[in-house]
Amino acid sequence: MGKEVLANRRNGVLWLTLNREEVFNAISTGLMQELVRELRSVESDPEIGAVVITGKGKAFCAGGDLQEISELGNASADERRAYLILFQDMIQAVRRLPKPVIAAVNGYCIGGGNELNLACDLSIASERAKFGQAGPRVGSVPLLGATQIMPVLVGEKRAKEVVFLCRTYDAHQAEKMGWINKVVPHDQLIPEVETWCDEILQMSPTAIALAKKSLNQYYNLAFQNMEDGVEAVTLYWGTEESKEGIRAFKEKRKPDFRKYI
């Protein structure tokens, strides 16, 4: 099996490419482990001043790997919890890295993929990018990033719309809401991100690290909520209600949640 995250260092920037193109870069255990390892490897590296995360192919990241999640539904609570703690570690690795992390959103950015995007300090998107949360439609719930970060970016009402209705938004809609920083033509995505990185690299790295830590204070206050989310989702994924959502997605039909009301 090949690497699920491709790492490339150039011009003072670590470029991380999610490399599961055949499943729209869905988040697997292996992908999370590799991403955390790469991020932690540059925490004290003086040669790296910024990190970029992007995806291979048509997607940035289409969310959690539903095949793996469906198997976890029948696994032990400890196994489900371990997966969710690893997801939490991935988000925290982005937030705690003392260097700016930029999401170069090249395509679909849905569910857990959007939570990864939200965790990044800056987000630049191709005009082809699509954004959204899918949890309640597929028997999951975004308690490990979206419910903490999105209300701060787009406001509580809009965040609830995104999470409750599971609609898809284009890049210009996301930019207008404050969800992302900028939209560019698809062929200008990497050059634009490189320009932002070049500007960041001209700044005092210590000042950037201190500023990031201070700007993240609101998020740190929500960390306890994320820990509670791990336990809530651990329990929920083991229910028949959650399993119905995942089955319906795999069978390409609408889920029947009415019996659980």
Question: How confident is residue 217, by pLDDT bands cut at 50, 70 and 90?
Answer: confident
State the pTM of this model: 0.96
Domains and CATH numbers, the chain: 5-187+201-205 (3.90.226.10)
Q: Could you read off the pLDDT of 106-157 as tens digits, one per residue? A: 999 999 999 999 999 999 999 999 999 999 999 999 988 899 899 999 999 9
Mean pLDDT across the chain, nearest whole number?
95
Q: Could you read off the pLDDT of 13-62 as tens digits, one per residue? A: 999 999 999 999 999 999 999 999 999 999 999 999 999 999 999 999 99
Q: Residue 82: is its pLDDT beyond 70?
A: yes
Q: Could you read off the pLDDT of 196-216 as tens digits, one per residue? A: 999 999 999 999 999 999 999
Rg (CA), the chain: 18
